[in-house]
Amino acid sequence: MNGVAADALDVRRGAFRLRVDGFGADARGTAVLGPNGAGKTTLLLALQGLIPSHGAIRRPARCAAAFARPAVLRASALANVAVVVRAARGATAAAAEERARSALAEVGLAAFAGADARTLSTGQRQRLALARALAVEPDALFLDEPFANVDADARPALRALIGAYVRRSGCALVVATSFLADAVALCERCVVLHDGAVAARCDVAALASCDDRYVAALLEEARFPA
Amino acid sequence: MLAIAALSVAVTSAATAIAAILAIPAALWIVHGRSTARAALLALFTAGLGLPPVAVGLAVAFAFWRSGPFGAFDLLYTPGAMMLAQVIVVLPLIGTLAVVSLRGGDPTLAQQLAGLGVPRRARLALLAREVAPGLVAAILAGFGRGIAEVGAAQMTGGNIEGQTRVLTTATMLAVGKGEFGEAFGYVAVLLGIMIVVAGVALTLQRRWA
């Protein structure tokens, strides 16, 4: 099984320091929860090897990520996905475009395939980022607030899309999110970060009994309008 | 006329190429480097935007004076000296505009491409494509400033017929002699060159758009 793991991880970014030990994720999904500035994004970047860190990190060779603020190339949505598929998978131009077209359709962007990616709304860009990440067919998928600006009524279908891919491929999944629904839909385990340290770990099914003030706030919000 | 136009294009093309080769890596360093000296170089570039070509020309001419520090090179009143002066005139402009265009993109693009498994070489190629139109514009602006300036060319070249006469210095001389028709001819050729160069730059930018 594909897995992501980190032990004795120590990351410094300016004045901020993140320390995580015994982190693990596989196809059952690990959610990373915590308030702004707790270190969720830093953890994801370090796990991917995109920022310098100390410690032992294990991840599959083929990883992909979708970020909250996706950066796009000065090209059409279709070209944005196709270029990445070509470069990351060594696919032919025709195969990459075919793959890109179906990936865009899966995230509901078929009508925007020809649109300049820079003109897409933030939510549409997030869909594009997801299409781009899935099109690479990774063995580990890192999602950082993947639906922060996506329409509420589109989120369930996108979560289902990710879930289906993960089940089909056995891809390891790490999701940093501020939505309880993401964790519940995609992950079996969760890690709660506060100020650069792990404050709690629990099964998502047992979140209600998790002794953490941030998780309590998430659950409280989810109870609306009780 | 043809020789004069050819020398204009040759001197300014060489000066622009040298300035770009120096200014673009410098701009990359200013945008992506870590040293604190970056701010000083950017300040130098920005201040250099206002450098009067005639002042640069005077300084270069002085340096290459027979009794000056570089007099031994025997470069004064040669196309080489004109080119050197134009490099100094053009470099700050290309450098400043290159910094602006390199800063324009999303700073996390390289990281996100890496996060998608795009290999380093492909990443660099994609990033280069992103900034290419801005860099082309910077180089075009540099060429335009170089070929249009008259002060540095006059000071360092001396407007010697058949040797260092370029379109701008020839225009000045023609006006001085009251040969207005000739002057307008030179200016028309100058404009024609800029139109052709701008057309080439636009075509390049469109290809990368």
Residue B11 pLDDT more than 70?
yes
Q: Are strands A16-20 and A4-13 parallel, antiparallel or unpaired?
A: antiparallel
Report the residue of chain A nearest B116, measured CA to CA.
A64
Ranges under pLDDT 70 in chain A: 1, 225-226
- On average, the pLDDT of chain A sits at 94
Mean pLDDT of B179-204: 95
What pLDDT shows up at residue A144?
Answer: 97
Residue A150 CB: number of other CB atoms within 10 A? 21
What pLDDT shows up at residue A87?
Answer: 94
Distance from CA of B125 to the nearest CA of A (A): 10
Alpha-carbon A220 to chain mean position: 24
Greater pLDDT, B32 or B193 = B193
Contacts of A50 in chain B (CB under 8 A): 111, 114-115
Alpha-carbon B47 to chain mean position: 16
The pair of structure tokens assigned to B74 is 């025997």
Cβ pair A69:B108 closer than 8 A: yes
Cβ contact A61:A221 at 8 Å: no
Contacts of A142 in chain B (CB under 8 A): 115
What pLDDT shows up at residue A211?
Answer: 87
How sure is the predictor about B26, in pLDDT bands with cuts at 50, 70 and 90?
very high
- On average, the pLDDT of chain B sits at 94
Mean pLDDT of B2-18: 97
**Predicted complex ipTM:** 0.92
Contacts of B130 in chain A (CB under 8 A): 73-74
Q: Are strands A63-66 and A16-20 parallel, antiparallel or unpaired?
A: unpaired
Contacts of A72 in chain B (CB under 8 A): 106, 109
pLDDT digits (tens, 9 = 90+) for B43-81: 999 999 999 999 999 999 999 998 888 988 889 999 999
Mean pLDDT of B130-139: 93
Q: From CA A86, how far away is CA A82, in angstroms rounded?
A: 6
What pLDDT shows up at residue B208?
Answer: 74
Alpha-carbon B96 to chain mean position: 12
What pLDDT shows up at residue B173?
Answer: 96
What pLDDT shows up at residue B153?
Answer: 96
User: Across the interface, which of A65, A69, A74 has its CB nearest the CB of B116?
Assistant: A65
**Among B173, B147, B143, B145, CA closest to B159:** B173
**Among A185, A207, A68, CA closest to B112:** A68
How sure is the predictor about B209, in pLDDT bands with cuts at 50, 70 and 90?
low
Give the HSE-up count for residue B3: Cα atoms under 13 Å, Cβ half-sphere: 8
| DSSP run (H or E) holding A25 | strand A23-25
Give the HSE-up count for residue B162: Cα atoms under 13 Å, Cβ half-sphere: 0
User: Across the interface, which of A50, A70, A83 has its CB nearest the CB of B114?
Assistant: A50
Greater pLDDT, B154 or B1 = B154
Residue B160 pLDDT more than 60?
yes
The verdict on B132 touching A (C-beta cutoff 8 Å) is no
